[in-house]
């Protein structure tokens, strides 16, 4: 095999993400993010594999993610660079940098602001499926837990630039306010999400105020609860 490093895009479909992310227009956003992330990966010229929910195996996130990584190693690759679809500022240059760093390091992490990571590059010799399944996935401790796990083995971790990922509407706002470059389409969708969130908040506030006013001026008999 000429190239010993492969990219794993571990990302759900837009429809699935819309069920996981609690904000309006999530499906539209992740449909475009999925398109863009594959385009960025193609520019690296590295072989890549997409593992969406239909191809994931396991009951927990940790099991599904670990099994996906193992499946790429089973194809004969020595290094795997994993990425998701929830980091709009992820660029081809980040992936290329990870690929370059993997030549001298056994672990490369692209840190997320929330304590997780948007990219992980790991060598086959440092990957232990049993240990990885047991890590606290989808928590703010995951990046530190991976670092600690490999620190015991005296593996030096190389870090990339810290970026924001998207879990909720507040994350969307932080990404817009970061002043990092975004594609025009992604930026327009993010602004639509923020506008929709503000409109929903305003509507809910007005609804509460209306009901409080109605209760205040209610001169009828009080509610009686029988037991």
The 10s digit of each residue's pLDDT in 101-151 is 998 888 999 999 988 999 999 999 999 999 999 999 988 889 989 888 877
Name the strand (E) or helix (H) holding 122: strand 117-123
d(CA 52, CA 3): 24
Mean pLDDT of 161-185: 91
Q: How many CA atoms lie within 13 A of 172 on its CB side?
A: 23
Question: In the predicted model, is pLDDT for residue 200 greater than 50?
Answer: yes
Q: Is residue 118 helix, strand or coil? A: strand
Structure tokens at 126: 């440092």
Question: Which class is 5-166 in CATH?
Answer: alpha beta
d(CA 192, CA 142): 31
DSSP count for the chain of H helices, then E strands = 8, 6
The 10s digit of each residue's pLDDT in 63-115 is 999 999 999 999 999 999 999 999 999 999 999 999 999 988 889 999 999 88
The strand pair at 5-10 and 107-111 is best described as unpaired
């Amino acid at each position: 095999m000429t190239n010993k490093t492969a990219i794993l895009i571990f990302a759900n479909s837009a429809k699935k993400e819309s069920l996981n992310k609690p904000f309006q227009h999530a499906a539209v956003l992740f449909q475009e993010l999925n398109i863009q992330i594959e385009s960025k990966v193609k520019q690296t010229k590295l072989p890549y594999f997409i593992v969406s929910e239909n191809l994931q195996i396991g009951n927990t996130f940790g099991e599904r993610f670990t099994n996906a990584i193992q499946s790429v190693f089973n194809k004969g690759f020595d290094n795997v660079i994993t990425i998701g679809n929830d980091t709009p500022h992820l660029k081809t240059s980040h992936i290329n940098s990870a690929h370059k760093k993997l030549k001298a390091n056994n672990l490369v992490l692209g840190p997320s602001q929330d304590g997780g990571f948007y990219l992980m590059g790991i060598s086959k010799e440092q990957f232990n499926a049993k240990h990885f399944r047991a890590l606290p996935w989808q928590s703010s401790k995951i990046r530190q837990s991976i670092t600690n796990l490999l620190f015991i083995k005296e593996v030096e971790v190389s870090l990339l630039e810290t970026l924001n990922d998207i879990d909720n509407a507040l994350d969307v706002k932080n990404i817009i306010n970061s002043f990092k470059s975004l594609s025009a389409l992604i930026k327009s969708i993010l602004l639509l999400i923020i506008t929709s969130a503000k409109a929903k908040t305003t509507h809910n506030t007005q609804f509460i105020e209306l009901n409080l006013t109605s209760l205040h001026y209610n001169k009828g008999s009080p509610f009686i609860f029988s037991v």
